[in-house]
Structure 1
């Protein structure tokens, strides 16, 4: 599928032939289909996707738990894996936010790894952001014969919304899709309660937050919740299933791939 007309903000690059994928540990261990579909979307746009096998975690769990040394060790293990000056695409707004905004701070006083972290952070992009702002993707002609119409709600993680500012990119992609109606709900801007280790340390509060999120989404009559963050998807999806709520969840990459028929 060919991208539409391209208009770049000053800080967005012209597309290159090669990109890296940083798949995140949750994609790797729990939602591999989201990683595969991210690769397929990028390859369909004519890109060669490179996946460094040594990658693991962005270090966010340790960082948000107040353990900067452990976070630094995890992040340092990733710095040498993306040596070519290619964009690093992340199918998670929260992990992309960690890499773009917090890695430079973690290594601020390090004369060796500080410059490496800042250089790498400057070419980190959340998946939807990259598809919209760099590739100029236009899925409006992507109708697939036989697919029924769907009504969906979008969940944007706290990191994606507030650090990366990528809610608008997700909205733009969903609103392009023929046969897809996106509806908003009362608690869309609120945290789902996952928050990494927050859900482990404060399970009662986290449970109440996700219950509110599920109820608010279901009140719209939507058929599906779409998000670009697997932590939120796992939390919301499991909470909905436990409550018997009619709220299937799907990663943005998988939803886009499915709704546009896969191969161009």
Structure 2
């Protein structure tokens, strides 16, 4: 008789922004993964994935942080994170960082092959097609640049949201257009970033949605900040929070609105 297959061991890369600003996304991620049959651990030795340093051209610092992440997640069957941006760094850019270092290139590629963004992992690897969550509202989804262009995340979150009872999903104009966050871009070019965020808010309003959902907290913080400045009541959640039924908590940026 064939023995039952053990649960896949998943290491959660919780990301810096989730750790510092929105831990509920991490808790929602663990809940979704455990509901899908995974054993989940959060390695205490993990650190920043190194994307800010990489994007700023500080390759030595990016390599140092990448080595720490590779070591921290070496023992897991899969590495999963609730961010297309961070997981793109691990999956796409880690092998690039070590292309001239055969020993670390092998380890980086092995990690990259086991690494996935949360919703794409749930959809494409685990094959989850049902969800018991409820959300009463009209939702529009913002496609983050790295997840969309580096990892091909487009339909997966929409399919998962379509299973949420009470939720109506509508498309905003130019859903794939950058919100202006871009990591360090919003710091280097604040006026351009603010204009892009304002256009994104206009597109959200045009959709008629009362809720914005996305897969990257950086984008959601940027957009919610612009919504706050424009005194717009649209609520903002990470897709994991909606799928895990954690929308009873204040929305992202909600405490800053008057």
TM over 0.5: yes
- Residue 59 of structure 2 corresponds to 68
Cα deviation 1:9-68 (Å, max 9, x = unaligned): xxxxx9943111001111111111100110011112221101110111111111111221
Q: Which has the higher contact order (CA 8 A, sep 6+)?
A: 1
Q: Distance in 2 between matches of 1:134 and 1:174?
A: 17
- Residue 187 of structure 1 corresponds to 174
Query: What is the Cα deviation at residue 176 of structure 1?
Result: 2.0
Which stretches in structure 2 are left out of the alignment for 5+ residues? 249-258
Cα deviation 1:165-207 (Å, max 9, x = unaligned): 1111111111222211111111211000000000000000000
The yes-or-no answer on 1:204 pairing with 2:195 is no
Q: Distance in 1 between matches of 2:36 and 2:186?
A: 37
Which stretches in structure 1 are left out of the alignment for 5+ residues? 1-13
1:163 to 129, 150, 164: 150
Do the aligned partners of residues 143 and 163 (structure 1) sit closer, same or farther apart at CA in structure 2, a change above 3 Å counting? closer
- Residue 6 of structure 1 corresponds to none
For normalisation by structure 2, the TM-score amounts to 0.90
1:240 to 220, 227, 245: 227
Query: What is the Cα deviation at residue 259 of structure 1?
Result: 7.2
The yes-or-no answer on 1:249 pairing with 2:236 is yes
Q: Distance in 2 between matches of 1:260 and 1:220?
A: 21
- Residue 98 of structure 2 corresponds to 107
1:39 to 30, 38, 49: 30
2:45 to 44, 49, 54: 54
Q: Distance in 2 between matches of 1:198 and 1:99?
A: 20
For normalisation by structure 1, the TM-score amounts to 0.88
Query: What is the Cα deviation at residue 118 of structure 1?
Result: 0.6
Do the aligned partners of residues 185 and 260 (structure 1) sit closer, same or farther apart at CA in structure 2, a change above 3 Å counting? closer
The yes-or-no answer on 1:213 pairing with 2:204 is no
Q: Distance in 1 between matches of 2:133 and 2:164?
A: 7
Q: Distance in 1 between matches of 2:29 and 2:229?
A: 28
- Residue 252 of structure 2 corresponds to none
- After TM superposition, the runs of 4+ consecutive aligned structure 1 residues lying more than 2 A away are 14-17
Query: What is the Cα deviation at residue 138 of structure 1?
Result: 2.1
- Residue 120 of structure 2 corresponds to 129
- Residue 8 of structure 1 corresponds to none
Count residues with an aligned counterpart. Answer: 244
